[in-house]
Structure 1
Amino acid sequence: MSAESLSARSRLVHDALRAAGVGGEIVVLPDAASTAALAAAALGIEVGAIANSLVFWSDGDPLLVMTSGAHRVDTVALAARIGRGTIARASVEQVREATGQAIGGVAPTGHPTRLVTVVDEALAAFPEIWAAGGTPHTVFPLTFDELVALTGGTIARVD
């Protein structure tokens, strides 16, 4: 699919991917894949290979956690591992303000400003991972190393 035919949000993601040297193409799915399980089923891959974008609020700022779709984030343990006071789930409004994207379609890039990001070390086990492309209907492939470079993320165990 050409970048011109993508939604405005997905075009921002596409452009950020190209600027970062990530070549994966954004794929538009016929049905919304707003959860890791739905995205994995639509792509025919393991749920663990989905790089789930979760926005939290930590010490007064947004924190993006790119977690394997097979994991739940242990916010207390993660806060201790990365030296944060607290980590709490961001509200719908906070997610939209921080990313410009809706819950269920938050990409690891294409935000108004770069977010502090943690990348789940478990994603390194997959040669190819998939992340949301800015809407619940869009996804794109990349490698673990590309995800870390794209986000400037800190690698950590999140569960």
Structure 2
Amino acid sequence: MTDHASPETDDLTALPDSARRVALLLRERGHAGRIVMLPETGKTSAEAAAGLGCSVAQIAKSILFRRREDDAPVLVVASGANRVDEKKVAAQVGEIGRADAKFVREKTGYAIGGVCPIGHATEPVTLIDADLLELDSLWAAAGHPHAVFNLTAQELIALTGAPVVDVALRETA
């Protein structure tokens, strides 16, 4: 961690309610649950990476889609450096569409920019970007646009129980 972000905290009372909920959930699942509060928003991968002093690729961004056939939430946890190929996601879960802010809040319990990979109001169909496995350390949103937590790709897989698939949009020449 760099001096850009505020220190990790064990004082849960200092956290916003949604981040405190994530910290407790992480601890229940055997993760240290230490939340870092960024002084600036972490709504985008670039903002979060700048605040943490890490590469954009290390940001495990949560992107929510709406599955068309049953309105189920589909969560893709992708490297911050990648654009998600919606056709690849659809091949895994069925036809998908974009999720608006209201859908994201209703299905996850989190605001856009703070969607954690776990602890959703409605359990999503989840996919993990295979490119995340190439990285030693990841940062994911912790329920609030300023809150993040550190984990490994293996911890992400264990916490979510999600399959690892290729979801990245690959530019072809």
* Partner in structure 1 of residue 171 of structure 2: none
C-alpha distance 78-113 of structure 1, shift in aligned 2 (>3 A): closer
* Partner in structure 2 of residue 94 of structure 1: 103
Q: Where does structure 1 differ by over 6 angstroms across 4 or more consecutive aligned residues?
A: none
Count of residue pairs the alignment pairs up:
157
CA RMSD of aligned residues (A): 1.1
* Partner in structure 1 of residue 13 of structure 2: 4
Q: Which amino acid aligns with 1:39?
A: A
Q: Which amino acid aligns with 1:131?
A: A
Distance, in Å, in 2 between the alignment partners of 1:153 and 1:140 is: 18
* Partner in structure 1 of residue 73 of structure 2: 62
* Partner in structure 1 of residue 86 of structure 2: 75
| SS of match in other structure, 1:148 | helix
TM-score normalised to the size of structure 2? 0.87
Contact 1:114 1:151 in 2 (8 A): no
Bigger RCO of structures 1 and 2 (CA < 8 A, at least 6 apart): 1
Contact 2:24 2:33 in 1 (8 A): no
Q: Percent identity, please.
A: 46
Distance, in Å, in 1 between the alignment partners of 2:23 and 2:122 is: 16
1:137 and 2:152 aligned: no
Larger Rg: 2
* Partner in structure 1 of residue 51 of structure 2: 42
**How far apart are 1:74 and its partner, in Å?**
0.7
